[in-house]
Amino acid sequence: MEEYFSSSGTWGGCHTLLSIDGEPPVAPSALKADAQVWVADEQGNGQMLDCSMPRALTVPEIRNVVEDYRRAARNALEAGFDGVEIHAANGYLIDQFLRSTSNHRIDEYGGSIENRVRFLMEVAEAVQSEVGADRVGVRLAPYITARGMNCPEIVDTIEYAAECLNQLSVAYLHLSEADWDDAPQVPLEFRHQLRQVFDGALIVAGRYDQDKARDILSSGLADLVAFGRPFIANPDFPARIRHGWPLAEFDGNTLFGGTEQGYSDYPAYTPV
């Protein structure tokens, strides 16, 4: 199995959402995310905290962040990973640039679709030049609306980004599909459109089970299906699928507890 390092960037993740040591987090624009983020102390005790008010990155800082991604990609390969997945989904820094709701910039990184996609492409080019396009994937989230991410232009923006990433010949796009109970479905039209503009592999993730995974693979609209939560409750998930063994139920109440409980303490299946 190949291992891919998922890069949210050194400025990604919490640093775009929470103050650290009194320093405001950074973002495309000084807009506070209507969201909370999980923070744990060194003992693993944690809580959900409101996101902080960020400050907007300057253009020279954006160039430094691109270099951070380049260095992170190089480090990942040196550390033995097979490739790098650029995290441009789920409200992380690159996704914030893609969305007109979180990106109010009036320079070359904001406004038009081309400008909002610019930061992603600069990161992708930097990472690709370090590790080679065939070792780069990009995670995107066109239909996610939670936590203030409901941008009316995101689908067109992501289709344009997919065209640009195709020209760069990146290996795959990974769709993080909406994964909560009443989430919007990904329309078939969008899946066909993505196939038309992107020649590489398509990975999908988000509430897939065995039947749904089989359906989308046989429809030809995805090449691979990624599973998240089923792997938590079933550490031997592939073996259970292969042998038709029953799947353990996943307990959502034990998430974000700060310890291994409910994450890595589910047992493997013991065949009778």
Ligand X SMILES: Cc1cc2nc3c(=O)[nH]c(=O)nc-3n(C[C@H](O)[C@H](O)[C@H](O)COP(=O)(O)O)c2cc1C
If the CB atoms of residues 134 and 263 are measured against ligand X, the closer one turns out to be 263
* Contacting residues for 237 by C-beta, under 8 A, at least 6 apart: 227, 230, 231, 247
Residue 173: Cβ within 10 Å count = 23
Minimum separation from the CB atom of position 129 to ligand X (A): 25
If the CB atoms of residues 105 and 136 are measured against ligand X, the closer one turns out to be 136
Pairs from 231-235 (Cβ < 8 Å, separation ≥ 24): 232/262, 232/263, 232/266, 233/266, 234/266, 234/269, 235/264, 235/266, 235/267, 235/268
Minimum separation from the CB atom of position 269 to ligand X (A): 18
If the CB atoms of residues 131 and 205 are measured against ligand X, the closer one turns out to be 205
Minimum separation from the CB atom of position 108 to ligand X (A): 27
92 classed as catalytic: yes
The footprint of ligand X (CB under 6 A) covers 89-90, 176, 179, 205-208, 227-230, 255
Catalytic residue, from 69, 92, 160, 208: name it: 92
If the CB atoms of residues 71 and 229 are measured against ligand X, the closer one turns out to be 229
Q: Do 38 and 46 form a contact (C-beta atoms < 8 A)?
A: yes
Question: Considering Cα of 5, then 9, then 13, then 14, what sign does the dihedral take?
Answer: positive
Q: Just list the catalytic residues.
A: 92
